[in-house]
Copies of this chain bind each other. A is one copy, B any other.
Amino acid sequence: MVRAATIPAPKRPVEVREYPRPDLEDGAALLRTLFSEVCGTDLHLQQGLLAETPYPLIPGHSTVGILEEVRGDVRDVQGRPLNPGDVVTFLDVHATCGRCWFCLVAKASTRCPERKVYGITYGADDGLLGGWSEYVYLKPGVRIIRLPEFLAPRTVIGGGCGLPTALHAVERSDVLLGQTVLVQGTGPVGLSAIALSRLRGPYRIIAIGAPRGRLEAARAMGADLCLDLDATTVAERRAAVLNATDGRGVDVAIEATGDPLAIPEGLDLLRDNGTYTVVGQYTDHGPVELNPHVQINKKHVDIRGVWGIDYSHLHRAVLLQERYNDRFRWEKLITHEFDLDGANEAIESVRSGEAIKAVIRPWPAE
């Protein structure tokens, strides 16, 4: 039997349940989990905040492990065969159809209606399709990446889902060489957005976040100026940002907070004709007031929403971790580690903001 932490229903504590070990269909693989991430979405799933969640659910959409079994010819995107014993991660997004209007005409695959996500829109009734489990069933067509030789599983899970999401956001933000970037939010997405903005050759990176421990992480990831959300007013932050930008505001701002109020504040911190990217509003926390004359039209601004990732984001995130893991220590973002029985504590560590990054480790360390 396979043990997996399971959310039985909205607002109910996670329970460890046992599932039969699955037989593999052709093209499938079985992953022995090393680490699976605990992220804000997992908290929201437990709180019942996401629409149409298929409870009972095994959470965990960013996962690293060792291939235990492979059935048939399973290959990575370069066509190289994947074999038992390989240390891998995989794209949680599965079943993007490749035949609908969004996939083929709009080329907006993250809006494909067939798209399924491990640990979020696949439920426990669909199989072992979440990472908070001793084993994960990798269905045929799941995009699997073998970790490069010198990239540790712990580094990859330290990046987690926040890193490719941040990559998507930074890419949509079109940071130019020598520009000043503001990142609002110092959770996992914000911290990776800081690191990846640093990789785009900016003049300066400003971060707004809290609590203090996360601001230290922000500085380690490359922020030049950190503003403590808990210790400053909106007016003080505005004064600090204008002071750092010759009174103009930043060239690019990336919102990674989850708080609707961050958006009007961020637009006010942006220079005229700047770019504002919204990647933190993954859950519906209600509306917010904007002034379309002042904050959009006269500002001549670009505002860009960023939903989800596709394979290219994960692929390049892994390459960047391999290349830059001496500069950005994603593994150091991991502040909390739990076994399956600790899943409720894991969620609580994220809810309270105590953890920067919590991970589930289903098996004892060897």
Contacts and interface: CB of A to CB of B under 8 A. Distances in A.
A159 to B, nearest CB: 13
21 contacts: A102-B273, A104-B310, A104-B312, A105-B311, A105-B315, A177-B196, A177-B199, A178-B316, A179-B316, A199-B200, A278-B292, A282-B293, A284-B294, A285-B293, A286-B291, A287-B290, A296-B305, A299-B305, A300-B306, A302-B303, A303-B304
B200 A201 contact: yes
Given A298-B305, A301-B303, 15 more contacts: A77-B99, A77-B104, A101-B246, A106-B251, A111-B300, A177-B316, A178-B316, A201-B320, A260-B292, A260-B293, A281-B296, A281-B298, A284-B293, A287-B292, A298-B307
A279 interface: yes
A1 interface: no
A141 interface: yes
A288 B292 contact: yes
B319 A178 contact: yes
Task: Please state the number of chain copies in the assembly.
Answer: 4
Interface residues of A, number: 79
A303 B300 contact: no
A339 B235 CA distance: 50
Interface in A252-297: 260, 263, 271-273, 278-294, 296-297
Contacts of A311: 104-105
A100 interface: yes
A26 B205 CA distance: 39
A352 interface: no
Interface in A221-262: 246, 248, 251, 260
Contacts of A299: 305, 307
Nearest to A311: B104
A204 interface: yes
A143 interface: yes
A167 interface: yes
A53 interface: no
Contacts of A312: 104-105, 107
A51 to B, nearest CB: 10
A101 B248 contact: yes
Contacts of A296: 263, 278, 281, 303, 305
Contacts of A281: 292-293, 296-298
A176 interface: yes
A104 B291 contact: no
Contact of A78 (B101, B177, B260, B300): B101
A178 to B, nearest CB: 3
Q: Of residues A99, A108, A196, A294, which shows the largest number of chain B Cβ atoms within 10 Å of its Cβ?
A: A99
